[in-house]
Amino acid sequence: MSADSLYSMKTTTLDGKPADLGQYGGKVTLVVNVASQCGFTPQYAGLQKLYDEYKDKGFAILGFPSNDFGSQEPGSPEEIATFCKKNYGVTFPMFSKLVTKAGQDQSPIYTYLGQTGSLPSWNFAKYLVGKDGKVIQFFNSKVTPEAKELRDAIDAALAK
């Protein structure tokens, strides 16, 4: 099954409830594969700040924990939620752990995102997705939430 939009997909929230990504249709979203024990984990603080700054302008951040790289997200959903809340005050939507790497276990979400030709090579890779659910741009892990290139891309997508 091939999706034509991120917003046509369904997944599960971090607390195990069904989630329809259609609820983000019409918004610009930043999809991030996150991990609690990574050198990039402090990006959670910047992501939360970005979310706080833009959430009322039609923007959302969707966090997808992944244990694909260096086994840096070994925790249970409860442990992940507690870690994110306690250490970074995360309030943006977080979803159940999934596989980002290509292969038979890859999440359909990352199969769709990977159609861009880019898949995460480490934790905290980012996909900027437009209001139509199509990927606008991929940013590797080293591009921080504070980066001008990311913020400019978000502003441009919101202006459309």
Residue tagged active-site, from 33, 67, 87, 140 = 87
Q: Is residue 133 part of a domain?
A: yes
Q: Considering its fold, how many domains does the chain have in total?
A: 1
CATH number of domain containing 120:
3.40.30.10
Q: Nearest Cα to 12, choosing from 85, 80, 89?
A: 80
Residue 18 β-bridge partners: 12
**Domain range holding 121?**
6-159
Give the pTM. Answer: 0.97
- Residue 103 burial (C-beta neighbours within 10 Å; 0-12, 13-18, 19+): exposed
Q: Which two tokens stand for residue 96?
A: 């159940």
pLDDT of residue 140: 97
Q: Is residue 1 part of a domain?
A: no
Quote the pLDDT of residue 76.
Answer: 97
| Residue 87: Cβ within 10 Å count | 13
pLDDT given for residue 1 in this prediction: 44
Contacting residues for 152 by C-beta, under 8 A, at least 6 apart: none
Residue 87 bears catalytic tag: yes
Per-residue confidence in pLDDT tens, the chain, 160 aa: 457 899 999 999 999 999 999 999 999 999 999 999 999 999 999 999 999 999 999 999 999 999 999 999 999 999 999 999 999 999 999 999 999 999 999 999 999 999 999 999 999 999 999 999 999 999 999 999 999 999 999 999 999 9
